[in-house]
Amino acid sequence: MDDEAFQRETVRDFISNKFPQAELILFSTGEEALHEIYRKPDCVILDYYLDTEKRNAANGIQILEQIKNVLPEVPVILLSGQEDPSVAADIIKHGAYDYVVKNESSFARLQILLNKIYGMQELQGKLGFQRVMNIILLLVVVALVILMLGDHIPDSPTVSNPMIYYSYGLFSNDPMSDQMQATIQHNQTVTGLPYLVVDKKEVLNDLAAIESDIPGISDLYHNLERGVAKSDVARMVSLYIRGGHYADLDVEFHAIPPISDEMVFVYTEKFSVRKGESFTRIANYALSSPPRHPFIAEVLCEILKRVTQRTKTTKWTDKDIVRMTGPDVISSVYNRTKDKSSVRRASWMKSRQILSHKSAASWRKDKDTTTI
């Protein structure tokens, strides 16, 4: 995935859904957009930083000034992650129509501003100046808000006996690879936290312990035909029973991860738009939770529901795993949870400051749906 293109296209999808009458033209730098300024856009959405792809590219203020020199009447909305009032005042002083701070309400704010601008265009149309609304998007990786911001994440565990655990040997008797052992050693060196590798026997004990809380989850685990799906369920079961911080064996820590005896901590994998609404993709390769937290229970109940309702009789595909037991489950539960007081999400940037996933989707078999 190209981060810059992904960001631009995500915002494009959002605006296209909210303003289907708009013609959208996307650029990665201000210089590219200035070459097309003859199109006389009705609105420009401009990011403050425009040098991600080209280090010598002009910044948002510089491009704003050049646009205003050519088209002084065109409204320019400028995006920035800085909440300093003096920055906002400086942007407005340079002629911006408005200033949008990158935070959780940025999409809503952007929609309000575009509604105002489009309302003015409609009024001009009634007065005889009928025009089609064109929007130039100048968006780079920092332009998308939700990826940038998340909840407050403590820099160290807030629990007396923090533990990192991994799972291995659930569906294979092969010895752990040198790379996996090196990852565990690296993580122990970086975090200084004790760790435990949960094997098949311990998972079976955890399944027996959870059955009274979530009836049917043990049978579901044993009946799953793909090993990676069993691993998805096992990590949530053990996290529910044991608490602590789970990590795949290809996750490397760069800092001490958050672990709490009160709340769940999750990591942002990516951000998308579904039916015009923001949707945060939550990683399931790493997360932490206290024992028997209701959020983890809800994730397991959602897995049980999805697998039980599956009507296809064919073997599981990779897409089935993602949707039935994988990251789509925890993401859906997170996004529909209205009270997130006991669930904290690290922003996209904070997530990558804490850890990295070295072998993402290495389990995928594409069209091969044999058991792994």
Same domain, 12 and 133: yes
Number of domains comprising the chain: 2
Same domain, 207 and 115: no
Same domain, 138 and 27: yes
Asked if the structure places residue 369 within a domain, the reply is no
Asked if the structure places residue 225 within a domain, the reply is yes
| This prediction's pTM | 0.63
Same domain, 271 and 316: yes
Asked if the structure places residue 370 within a domain, the reply is no
User: What local confidence, expressed as pLDDT, does residue 128 receive?
Assistant: 44
Same domain, 187 and 336: yes
Asked if the structure places residue 115 within a domain, the reply is yes
What is the per-residue pLDDT across 186-216, written as a single tens digit (0 to 9) for each? 999 999 999 999 999 999 999 999 999 999 9
Please report, to the nearest 10 degrees, the dihedral formed by the alpha carbons of residues 356, 358, 361, 364 taken in order: -160
Same domain, 172 and 83: no
What is the per-residue pLDDT across 204-254, written as a single tens digit (0 to 9) for each? 999 999 999 999 999 999 999 888 999 999 999 999 999 999 999 999 999
Same domain, 139 and 171: no
User: What local confidence, expressed as pLDDT, does residue 364 receive?
Assistant: 67
Same domain, 113 and 259: no
User: What local confidence, expressed as pLDDT, does residue 1 receive?
Assistant: 23
Q: What is the helix (H) or strand (E) element at residue 26, kind and residue range?
A: strand 23-27
Same domain, 170 and 69: no
What is the 3 state secondary structure string of 302-315?
Answer: HHHHHHHHCCCCCC
Indicate which CATH number applies to the domain containing 15.
3.40.50.2300
Low-confidence ranges of the chain (pLDDT < 70): 1-10, 21, 50-57, 81-82, 104, 120-152, 271-278, 360-372
User: What local confidence, expressed as pLDDT, does residue 252 receive?
Assistant: 96
**Cβ atoms of 42 and 131 closer than 8 Å:** yes
User: What local confidence, expressed as pLDDT, does residue 367 receive?
Assistant: 42
User: What local confidence, expressed as pLDDT, does residue 130 receive?
Assistant: 43
Return the ∠ at Cα 50 (arms to 93 and 360), rounded to 5°.
140
- Residue ranges making up the domain that contains 73: 3-145
User: What local confidence, expressed as pLDDT, does residue 9 receive?
Assistant: 65
Same domain, 135 and 172: no
Distance CA 52, CA 47 (A): 11
